[in-house]
A and B are shown apart, each in its own frame.
Chain A
Amino acid sequence: MGMTSAQKRGFGATLWDWLTTVDHKKIGILYLAGGGFFFLLGGLEAVIIRIQLISPENNFISAGLYNEMITMHGTTMIFLAAMPILLGLMNFIMPLQIGARDVAFPFLNSLGFWLFLFGGVLLNLSWFTGAPDAGWTNYAPLSIQSPGHGVDFYIMGLQLSGAGTLMGGINFIVTIVLMRAPGMTYMRMPLFTWTTFVASILILFAFPALTVGLFLMMFDRMFGSAFFDAALGGNAVIWQHLFWIFGHPEVYILILPVFGVFSEVFPTFAKKRLFGYTAMVFATFLIAFLGFMVWAHHMFTVGLGPVANSIFAVATMAIAVPTGIKIFNWLFTLWGGSIKINSAMLWSLAFIPSFTIGGMTGVMLASAVADYQYHDSYFVIGHFHYVIVGGTVFGILAGLHYWWPKMFGKYLHEGLGQISFWTFFVGFHLTFFIQHFLGLMGMPRRYWVFLENQGLDTGNLISSIGAFFMSFGVIVFLINIIYTTIKGKKAPRDAWGSGRTLEWTISSPPVHYNYKQLPLVRGLDPLWIEKMEGNKKMTPAEPVDEIHMPNGSILPLIMTIGFTIASYGFIYQTGNKYWLIAVYAGMAIALISMLTRSLKDDHGHHISKEELERVGD
């Protein structure tokens, strides 16, 4: 199956290929497409929120719809946009960077993607019948008392997509531990691989807390238990704990991979080795470790007592140290480098000051005493948008511009890239900088309207104008994608000419088995080492021989459809017991697919030596 047969395939065959694929590169692209779709949806919700707040006592949407809008904006952006897009980048790039031909569990990889997608679609279908409206944190008892099925959709949708994410995390850990190319020791792994590894460990430890919390919430809402009902001896604070034991590591799951992206972009475009590689790895682990013991800083005003608050405050402030190490290492990487500025580099450079402002307000919020003033105000909104947009979104866009030629074989248009960067960058600071001051002036978050002449009018208008700038930037980026797909400039293997890591040694886009021969890694930045010694390409670590690859399978999709039907059943069986049929039918479909998978042997296929030699390099 070379390129020629792929081009001749009809629409049906192509669709079937994508539905059954277990190729980590195709699943990566699916993640990017799915996450990108939800990013646009979440962005639309954000714009609606900003239109509602453009003037005092505005009546653009009703109060109830506003609650649904903020809940869905937060939930969509975190669970369905930012994280899947990162998983997409990891999926595509990480195996290439360690010189592997696929991930350790290709079937699981596909299942993880479909679970994420159907979880997201399930959650968003709630728009037709009433979306969740208890905030993205879904605090009990508000969420327990929320009428209708909105919160039920939140529970089942996140349970599905969360299971998918957990599978992804486990898969990446095993891949990195077991499937590195010969010579690729841990301390020779590129930083993006390192951060993927650490973020996956965070996923492994953090998501079970969410799963447990969602199950308890599910039992409370659907089966009459009382875990969070104080009247029956439950405790609503437990939801907050469980949510934030997951939720705080989650923000590091969002930021660590993009730290990896920047650590690839800066050395490539400064033509210098990453400054302080060992310190970077160490700082990544330290952030992950500390990230697990700070969750209660989201709960300073709950009344945990001064001792607990102080401990969590100090631990939180400590995270600024390893993060500071990273910021300085990036600056020192740039120092004295021969710097080339393009879109990928612009997003990375803009990240440093933007994220540092977010980090600074983070330390301010970490002070438990001061937090009583900031809590639930627009100051918090300003803070976390600075770290999530200024960190994660900038990083995703830097990564997309940087790896687009590798993923699709074509360069994104540079001019369009710069237009979208500048409008988004200006819009971002316009929107969120002023929100810090709105918060300090007393504007609470999650309020539907604000009153006239309280000094909040101009600030909110400016913030809304910024949101339109950001929307314009995103639209230009979409146009850029379409333009590039139709008539983009073709990219060679080493697309930027100064690539350092293994992914730049193979064709753009890579063949489905990635490496004809696994490369021999002789140090950190293996491609750079070979270049410095005047070698045109990597030294192979093995002779050309048969390659064993996994077969595609439709089972992950069927399994997921089963779970989705069952989720619908769970949501609606509270009103009408006939919906239990959907629970049983859905579970039957899922379990039969699992049984089929277990009992039917699938040994994959081999690509013969002759075919590999015919294809050439």
Chain B
Amino acid sequence: MTDEMSTRKINSFQKQKNKQEMQKMVVSFALMIFFTLVAFALVMLEVPSTYVIPIILLLAFVQVSFQFFYFMHLKDKGHEVPSQIIYGGVFITVMVALTFTVITWW
């Protein structure tokens, strides 16, 4: 009897958590589409490239973060090791890109 009740409680807790999770996903998905539209709009309105490039890079950075934290669950508990590995990959990619920029292309 008590067992059943506690399971039901856990289930409703889980349900609410899932619902919240779903909300977050939908919101971040909508934002991502919005950012993409903004990026396209800026280019089509022929805003000077001095502004467009940094703005698009910023939007891209936010989108990548959404991707990592919401869709790839880096923020979740129990995902510490995969997160560390992703951060390692990001670190190495950034470093390689930076080195190429500085010593080969500059």
Name A's B-contacting residues (CB within 8 A). Answer: 173, 177, 201, 204-205, 209, 235, 237-238, 241, 245, 292-293, 296, 304-305, 308
Contacts and interface: CB of A to CB of B under 8 A. Distances in A.
Given A209-B96, A245-B96, A292-B92, A177 B82 contact: yes
A201 B103 contact: no
B104 A204 contact: no
Interface residues of B, number: 13
A308 B98 CA distance: 12
Contact of A204 (B81, B89, B95): B89
Given A177-B81, A235-B104, A237-B104, A205 B88 contact: yes
Nearest to A235: B104
Given A245-B96, A292-B92, A292-B95, A204 B85 contact: yes
Contacts of B81: 177
Contacts of A204: 85, 89
Given A235-B104, A238-B104, A296-B99, 9 more contacts: A177-B82, A201-B85, A205-B88, A205-B89, A205-B92, A238-B100, A241-B100, A308-B102, A308-B103
B94 to A, nearest CB: 12
15 contacts: A177-B82, A201-B88, A204-B85, A205-B89, A237-B104, A238-B100, A238-B104, A241-B99, A241-B100, A292-B92, A293-B95, A296-B103, A304-B103, A308-B102, A308-B103
A173 B95 contact: no
Interface of B: 81-82, 85, 88-89, 92, 95-96, 99-100, 102-104
Contacts of B92: 205, 292
A305 B99 CA distance: 13
Contacts of B102: 308
Contacts of A305: 103
Contacts of A201: 85, 88
Find the residue from A205, A296, A305 having the highest chain B CB count within 10 A. A205
Tell which of B85, B92, B100, B102 has the most Cβ of chain A within 10 Å: B92
A233 to B, nearest CB: 12
Nearest 5 interchain pairs by C-beta: A308-B103, A177-B81, A304-B103, A205-B92, A292-B92
A304 B99 CA distance: 11
A245 B99 CA distance: 11
Contacts of A241: 99-100, 104
B97 to A, nearest CB: 11
Nearest to A245: B96
A41 B92 CA distance: 35
Nearest to A289: B88
A534 B99 CA distance: 57
